[in-house]
Amino acid sequence: MIRGTIERADTQLSFGKITLGAAGTNPFDNVIDFGQTDADGLCAAVSVTTTAIGGTNVALKLQGSADNSAFSDILTMAPVALAELKKGAAFSVPIPRGLSFRYLRLAAVTTGAFTGGVLEGNLDAWGAK
C-alpha cells in the first residue's frame, strides 16, 4: 500500500515528459495543481532522457493558470543549444516567489524541427536555494 501512495505522490510532483518535434511551443504532459499551497522555494528540474536530434535549440518556459485552461507565461529561460541536449543533461527553471497561480506547467519552445529527444520535468526543492 505504501508503494502505491508514493507512486501517486511522485506523479503529483511531475510535469511529465515531452518528445521534441515540430518547431513551436509544446507543453509537457502534466499540470501541477498547488491547491491552497504555494511554490515558494521550488524550481522545476528538467532532465534530458533521450539525446535531442535535429532542431537548433530549446527554451524552457514556465506557465501558470488560475483555472487550468488558459495559461500565461511566467518566465522563459535562455535557449539551450542542440549540442547541450545530450542524455543525462539537467537544467533548472526557477519558480518565482509569490506566484498567485494555482496551476503550473512547463513548455518547451523549440527552434527548428527535432526528430528525437525527450525531456522530463519534476518539482525540485534543492535547485532553488
DSSP per residue over 110-124, as a string?
EES-EEEEEEEEEEE
The three grid cell numbers given for residue 107, joined into one nine-digit string: 513548455
pLDDT of residue 48: 94
What averages of pLDDT result for each successive group of 10 residues across the chain (129 residues)? Answer: 45 86 92 75 88 95 93 94 95 86 93 94 69
- Dig out the grid coordinates for 30 from the structure: 502534466
User: Tell me, what's the pLDDT at 89?
Assistant: 95
Q: What pLDDT does residue 25 have?
A: 92
Separation CA 13–CA 9 (nearest Å): 7
Q: Residue 95: what pLDDT? A: 87
Write down the pTM of the prediction.
0.84
Beta carbons of 58 and 108 less than 8 angstroms apart? yes
Q: How far is CA 30 from CA 8, 68, 78, 85, in A?
A: 13, 11, 22, 21
Residue by residue, DSSP assigns 35-60 as TT---TT-EEEEEEEEEEEESSEEEE
